[in-house]
Structure 1
Amino acid sequence: MQASKFTVKTLSRVTTPPTSSSEPQTVHARARLRELTRELRQLEEKLRLGGGPDKIDKQHKQGKLTARERLDLLFDKDTYRQEIGLLVAYDQYKPEVRGQRSEVRG
């Protein structure tokens, strides 16, 4: 998977498109927003792995579930939930440490 170009500051650079949906600027803005949304979802998916598959396997071998797996048992299946703080301090850590500092609360 290619490294994401998404940063916390990226969303602040997306401008409000003009009122006409057929203007080139609007078409470009919509395409850019779709691209950023895709990148954000990929980043969130990666961060939800926490320390990575190795850390998850280690926890499973100890007979433990990850925090997210425990929360999955608490919530109704197929209900929407939003994890708060997944991106907190994302760009403050070295790439190999990202995702290991997030808190999961339910």
Structure 2
Amino acid sequence: MNSPFQHHLNSNYAPSEDERHDIAQIITEQDKRISQLDEEIHRLNLLLQPLLRDKGQVHASREAHRQLLSPSRRIPPELWGEVFVHCLPASKFVKIDVQEAPMLLAQVSSP
């Protein structure tokens, strides 16, 4: 913003009494402009919120539809069962660890 005091900004300049009055007027005008901008931002936010909500809904629907195209959906459940059975440890007890089979396999289709 242009100001007659631009060259004094960010300096140690001490304005005179008349200049202080002029600077106070500039500040008052800038306060009004900030208020106008805040009102406009608020108005635009009111318009933006429904659009953002709609975008989120479309995005969620798109992702749900994408999941329908996942190659893992074309693998018969019987084959998945065989994979899990072959990953079981030879010992009688299965160790519950998400970093090892068969629990690790449960994460195959997770994002």
TM-score between both structures, scaled by the size of structure 1: 0.34
Q: More helix by proportion, 1 or 2?
A: 2
Greater Rg, structure 1 or structure 2? 2
Higher relative contact order structure (alpha carbons within 8 Å, sequence separation ≥ 6): 1
TM-score between both structures, scaled by the size of structure 2: 0.33
